[in-house]
Amino acid sequence: MTGRSMDPERVCARAQAIAEELGRLGEPITETQAREIAARQKCDCQEGMFALAPTRRGLLHGAGVAVAVSASAILPRTTFAKAPPGAVEYQVPEDPTKEPGRPMGVDGGYGSRSQFETDVRWVNPTRTASFTPLQASYGTITPSGLHYERHHAGIPNIDPARHRLIIHGMVDRPIKYSLTDLKRFPTVSRTYFLECSGTTGSEIMKAREPTVQRTHGLVSTSEWTGVPLSTLLKQTGLKPGVAWVLAEGSDAAVMTRSVPIDKCLSDALVVFAQNGEVIRPEHGYPMRLLLPGWEGNISIKWLRRLEVSDKPFYTRTTLLHGSVAGRSRPPAFAFMRDEGTLAALARACGLARRQQWPPRSFAALWSASAARHRSLACSDRYRPPPRHANCNQMPAASPCSAISCR
């Protein structure tokens, strides 16, 4: 404040002008158009959704990459082959004070780290997750290039000029936003950590990993910049009775999670920047959902759709990452990772009663959970919504995320 008093009428007029300008952002669409756009997705019922669980597809992919790497080893090495990822190899003089250093601009205008720094993310054998080298970290911010990754169907390559975020459902004005539209809203920057729900999962039976990177490396901290989700929902207008929002990503897994409306209206963000630059493809480029304090898989990357409803959506990925409450009611939702989450899932699957906890693997846990879902579907107290015609191979209580499945 400069000490000068502001005319209240001018302040109100300016605020009204800003509100009107924000209201003109985005492309108004009808609910029918929103559903037509969302229904264009394929329903191949992709596999490989549980953190760190090996799948046949993932193992074959890993084997193919290993063959490619071994084949490349016999090829002639390039000039900069010795430099670690993110660095460029330059000649090292005996005495750097005796000759000029390299000129500016040889890096193409985007800086690189020193060729003597070798810390990198460790990628698990199934190539579904990479782990931050926590033992080599400094301060509280994780460099974007070392931030952990967890993907369910690889990293999509998305053209930001074509990408759109659709907000529809129980709203007064369904809207379609471009990335340019999103960046014109007032933005905030917040420092938050993200933690994958599968962190420490490799040690569920016993201590076996050699470093903290491989035990706890699915945790990272960044400064995130974006628009409060409450701001976007205010533009669409919420109808009475809304309670949940379905967030959907643009990856091949069509990752979806149901989010309580209270969370969406509190500290949830739609972010497009990380650590001072645009968010990287492996972290959700061009935009992602960020839900502070909740497990990482619910912060949907490559965000493309938000559907507002008065009830949760029991989609395949929501059930897969949630816990099962038991026969008496539909599966519950797990948002914040704690020590009781997996234990609750194990009890619901009947593993604890058979002295099979901890399970031999996450795959075994999901297999038992799927069987439990099938028994739940036969219960008079729980009837899952109808499934898409192409989803016959899925557990009965795990409908796919296609619009026609709900």
Mean pLDDT of the region 122-134: 92
**Separation CA 255–CA 384 (nearest Å):** 19
Q: Where are the domains of the chain?
A: 26-50+153-309, 316-405
The angle that helices 362-377 and 339-348 make with each other, rounded to 10 degrees, is 50
pLDDT for 178 equals 97
**Would the pLDDT of 123 be above 60?**
yes
Between residues 258 and 316, the one the model is more confident about: 258
Mean pLDDT of the region 216-245: 96
Q: Are 150 and 129 in contact (CB under 8 A)?
A: yes
CB atoms inside a 10 Å sphere around CB 18? 11
Provide CB contacts within 8 A for 308, sequence distance 6+: 167, 168, 169, 170, 171, 233, 236, 238, 239, 242, 244, 245, 261
Provide CB contacts within 8 A for 15, sequence distance 6+: none
pLDDT for 209 equals 86
Distances (CA, A) of 163 to 173, 180, 348: 20, 10, 40
**Quick check: helix, strand or coil at residue 299?**
coil
pLDDT for 305 equals 97
**Separation CA 196–CA 303 (nearest Å):** 18
**Would the pLDDT of 120 be above 80?**
yes
Of the pLDDT bands very low, low, confident and very high (cuts 50, 70, 90), residue 21 is confident
pLDDT for 74 equals 32
**Would the pLDDT of 330 be above 50?**
no
Of the pLDDT bands very low, low, confident and very high (cuts 50, 70, 90), residue 220 is very high
pLDDT for 333 equals 61
**Separation CA 346–CA 367 (nearest Å):** 11
Query: Of 227, 194, 209, 164, nearest to 37 (Cα)?
Result: 164
**Would the pLDDT of 3 be above 90?**
no
pLDDT for 233 equals 97
pLDDT above 90: percentage of residues in the chain: 48
**Would the pLDDT of 251 be above 90?**
yes
**Would the pLDDT of 403 be above 60?**
no
Residue 38: half-sphere exposure toward Cβ, Cα within 13 Å: 31
Mean pLDDT of the region 83-99: 90
Q: Where are the alpha helices (DSSP H) in 104-164?
A: none
Residue 274: half-sphere exposure toward Cβ, Cα within 13 Å: 27
* pLDDT tens-digit readout, 363-388: 333 333 333 333 322 222 323 334 34
Distances (CA, A) of 55 to 27, 50, 121, 126, 200: 41, 10, 22, 8, 19
Between residues 254 and 393, the one the model is more confident about: 254
Name the average pLDDT for the chain: 75
User: C-alpha angle 319/287/322, rounded to 5°?
Assistant: 10
pLDDT for 317 equals 63
Query: Of 192, 203, 182, 109, nearest to 147 (Cα)?
Result: 192
pLDDT for 360 equals 37
**Would the pLDDT of 238 be above 70?**
yes
What architecture (CATH level 2) is domain 26-50+153-309? Answer: Alpha-Beta Complex (3.90)
Of the pLDDT bands very low, low, confident and very high (cuts 50, 70, 90), residue 43 is low
| pTM of model > 0.75 | no
